[in-house]
Amino acid sequence: ALNMILNKYSYNKNDIIFIDDNASHLLDPKNQGFQVYLSNWVDLNNDKHIQIAKDNNIRILDSINLIQ
């Protein structure tokens, strides 16, 4: 879907930020060069998602603060 947006609107990968609360949804876009963040708005993520994000150098958004 992110690549379709790139093509349709002539964006660059740096123009798109993908935020999701499931770390596994972020791995492929990150590997393709997109900016990705794991959202943890109300501490809904379990330790598994947090660890996946940390292991893959995915930044974590907690409320409005960047914590990694």
Q: Over the stretch 3-39, which tens digit does the pLDDT of each residue have? A: 999 989 988 998 999 999 899 999 999 999 999 999 8
Q: Containing H/E element for 37? A: strand 35-39
Q: What confidence tier does 44 reach under pLDDT thresholds 50, 70, 90?
A: low
- Among the listed residues 43, 49, 60, 3, the one whose alpha carbon sits nearest the alpha carbon of residue 23: 49
Q: Which DSSP category does 3 fall into?
A: H
Per DSSP, the three-state class of 66 is strand
What is the model's pTM?
0.81
Question: What is the model's pLDDT at position 63?
Answer: 67
Question: What is the model's pLDDT at position 62?
Answer: 77
pLDDT at 66 over 70: no
